[in-house]
Amino acid sequence: MSAHKTSNPAFDAAANVAEATRQSAVQSASSQAAVVSAEQTYFRSVYKAAIANSLSPSVFIEALKSLGSQS
Which amino acid belongs to residue 35?
V
pLDDT at 71: 60
| Phi, psi angles (nearest 5°) of residue 29 | -65, 140
- Residue 1: CA atoms inside 13 Å, Cβ hemisphere, count? 15
pLDDT at 30: 95
State the Cα–Cα distance between residues 8 and 2, nearest whole angstrom.
16
pLDDT at 45: 97
End-to-end CA distance of the chain: 26
pTM for the whole structure:
0.90
Local confidence pLDDT in tens for the 71 residues of the chain:
567 788 999 999 999 999 999 999 999 999 999 999 999 999 999 999 999 999 999 999 999 999 997 76
